[in-house]
Amino acid sequence: MLGCFSILLVDGCAVKNETIAKANRVDSSLIKIKLQQRSTFDFPNDGVSFSNKFLAARLNGVVRENDSTFMLVVTAENRPINSSPWYAFKVWATKRKNVYLKLSYPDDKHRYDPKISNNGITWKNVVAVAKNKDKTEATFKLSVGPDTLLVAAQELASSTSAYQWMDSITRKNALAKEIIGYSINQKPILALNTKSSDGKKIVVVLSRQHPPETTGYIAMEKFVATLLSDTEQARKFRSEYELVVIPMVNPDGVDEGNWRHSFAGVDLNRDWIDFKQPETKAIRDYLLAKVKKQDAKVYFAIDFHSTYDDVLYTNEDRTTTNSPGLVGKWIEGLHQFEGKKQTPVRASGNGGNVSKAWFGRVLNAEALTYEVGDQTARTYIDQKVTKVAEVLMELLSLKLKD
């Protein structure tokens, strides 16, 4: 039986949410990707069904190979694309049985071994996954029955769950929340900010430019929670620095189950020079207006992403930023915590078209991209991110004394 097992994840369920999308009609001419056909794929003779009718799902087709084996076709939203084959679907059966599911990527290679959940909250890894030689197929066995089982490349975090998280931390921490723009599909781009400082010194946090990158999103939530905690260090930080958080940059891509792009078929983290997309333009305009109105400076900016393994992408060092050397010292603090197995650091030019380059080039901020590994243990993510948030607050506190 297909049911709404999680109000955070499932499209069409009743969700009480303070954030409501804009009512204007969507300009379909701006949509440059091929949208999925949202369907329930029923195989009544076998008593097995599949569905992609929920937010963040991706399943482009199902082919029955025999009474226990089903091929699940997964394709990208458009091309060219940085291949990151995301999938998410539901499966259930009229009675308990074992099935073999074969993920098939006609033009790509398998990346994410599946995770399963029966409630959308707790997840387990599928351990035995067999790939063919060129990794265009990945097969695994599941026990399915009348209770709906969710299968996904990574834990799900749709725009709805992000908006609910924003509503929750806004109430808990007395934050300001503002709609700063809308996506192509008229979903709100929200910014949250603390209100305890004079607004002259700003720290910015971004995430979810790329839809499948949920480990980065998990890290962002923990990072923000640490900065908003009730410790003496965090209260002192917030009294001196305004924290600005934009947690869901690409809600359309996330909810469509895209591999990389927005509804425009664009990698938003390659639009930080031209700003042709409404999502990135909204963030640029909001931050520039805030800095001007408050006569403020951005001291630190971090953009959370995910990739195969943990890595930090930094700008080239400059002595003329608003807080020279901050990123380098922040990385030293992380490496001290990590010990021998340290996160690699890769510097790149400040003239690039990604967010960190724009923060450095235009806002003169110390900035970086924090890529969290796909398989990094979730408990270790929490530990590392808590530590680096504390290191940041300590370094910014020391700067006030300089």
* DSSP string of 144-196, one letter each residue: E-SS-EEEESS----HHHHHHHHHHHHHHHT-EEEEEEE-TT-PEEEEEE--S
Domains parsed from the chain with CATH numbers: 33-152 (2.60.40.3120), 159-401 (3.40.630.10)
C-alpha to C-alpha distances, 288 to 152, 159, 185, 282, 363, nearest whole angstrom: 38, 25, 24, 10, 8
Pairing assessment for the beta strands 345-348 and 311-315 based on DSSP bridges: parallel
Handedness of CA 305, 308, 312, 313 (dihedral sign): negative
What residues in the chain have per-residue pLDDT under 70?
1-23, 399-402
pTM for the full predicted model: 0.94
* pLDDT score, position 402: 53
The residue count for the chain: 402
Cα–Cα dist 267/338, whole Å: 31
